Amino acid sequence: MFQLNGKIAFITGAGSGIGEEIARAFVAQGATVVVADIDEAAGRRVADDIGTLSRYHRLDVTDSLAVQVALEQTAERYGSLDVLVNNAGIGLVGSVEETSDEDFERLMSVNVNGVYYGCKHAIPLMLKQGRGNIINIGSVAGLIGIERRFAYCATKGAVIAMTRQLAIDYATRGIRVNCIAPGTVYTPFVDSYLQRFHAHELEETKARLHARQPIGRMGTPRDIAAMAVYLACDDSSFVTGAVMAIDGGWTAR
């Protein structure tokens, strides 16, 4: 397994799902992890469970100043900020006609501004130390059109575009920027939107979500965490500007 010994990682949305599994995988490979999440109970649970190589930091990724302070405090406390994982995100079901202005702005604020603030405030710290690694969690929704996912597709497309642009700007300055684009991953995030939008046909919808991946199942957080470990380690030093689709073959159709 790829090693992260001694690396300092900051992971947003790490209180559950993909972010939680990435935090666990990083610590298992020797990294020190800051578990950042707006849900204090969830974030503290993960940090406490992982143990001494992690700590919790309450963070609202839509607050630029809060993100800046959190990252600066991490670098000051541990002496570096080696890896930033911009994982925090929210979803929405609806066509453009079904999407309210408020919902669209909320998704942009979390999914796009949250990534922007993370990158904006991490990069000066990484430039100062002469190295850094940013992993943005996108989605296949940023690569293909998905029925009734207008706002979500828009935001994840922006994450992919930001990743590629940042990789070009900082390729010769010691900072790598990559994106993981998961297919449908069975997490509390998915459970929540199933209950919200498909409660009347829960099992049928869940079966369709499994079936739309050619491999025949939804992904697991562990599937995504394994790629995050690879991108965070030094063995992937030639990888930047990449968009890694982990989707059970969905985008290969």
* pLDDT value of position 133: 98
Average pLDDT over residues 112-124: 98
Q: Are residues 172 and 238 in the same domain?
A: yes
Average pLDDT over residues 113-123: 98
* pLDDT value of position 191: 75
Sign of the Cα pseudo-torsion (252, 113, 131, 164, in order): positive
Average pLDDT over residues 178-183: 97
Average pLDDT over residues 179-199: 82
pTM: 0.94
Q: Are residues 144 and 214 in the same domain?
A: no
Q: Are residues 151 and 171 in the same domain?
A: yes
**Separation between Cα atoms, residue 11 and residue 42, nearest integer Å:** 14
Q: Are residues 98 and 154 in the same domain?
A: yes
Q: Are residues 209 and 168 in the same domain?
A: no
Instruction: List own/partner pairs for 30-33 with CB under 8 A and 24 or more apart.
Output: 30/3, 30/4, 30/5, 30/6, 31/4, 31/5, 31/6, 31/7, 31/82, 31/83, 31/232, 32/6, 32/7, 32/8, 32/78, 33/9
Q: Are residues 119 and 234 in the same domain?
A: yes
Residues recognised as catalytic: 152
Q: Is 1 inside a domain boundary? A: no
Structure tokens at 235: 């063995």
CA atoms within 13 Å, Cβ hemisphere of 139: 24
Q: Are residues 138 and 63 in the same domain?
A: yes
Question: How many distinct structural domains can be found in the chain?
Answer: 2
What are 206-225's pLDDT values in tens digits?
Answer: 888 888 889 999 999 999 99
Q: Are residues 95 and 198 in the same domain?
A: no
Q: Is 3 inside a domain boundary? A: no
What are 8-60's pLDDT values in tens digits?
Answer: 999 999 999 999 999 999 999 999 999 999 999 999 999 999 988 899 999 99
**Least confident span in 96-105, 109-118, 184-193, 243-252:** 184-193
Question: How far is residue 61 CA from its own chain's centroid?
Answer: 12
* pLDDT value of position 2: 87
pLDDT for residue 237 is more than 90: yes
Q: Is 249 inside a domain boundary? A: no
- Domain extent for 196: 188-218
pLDDT for residue 108 is more than 80: yes
Largest CA distance in the chain: 53
pLDDT for residue 102 is more than 80: yes
Structure tokens at 188: 């509390």
CATH number, domain containing residue 119: 3.40.50.720
Phi, psi for 89 (deg, rounded to 5)? -170, 160
* pLDDT value of position 86: 98
Average pLDDT over residues 160-186: 97
* pLDDT value of position 208: 84
Q: Are residues 209 and 118 in the same domain?
A: no
Structure tokens at 208: 């369709």
* pLDDT value of position 141: 97
* pLDDT value of position 203: 82
* pLDDT value of position 1: 65
CB atoms within 10 A of CB 222: 13
* pLDDT value of position 49: 96
Q: Is 2 inside a domain boundary? A: no
Q: Are residues 93 and 32 in the same domain?
A: yes
Q: Are residues 59 and 167 in the same domain?
A: yes
Q: Is 248 inside a domain boundary? A: no
Q: Are residues 201 and 104 in the same domain?
A: no
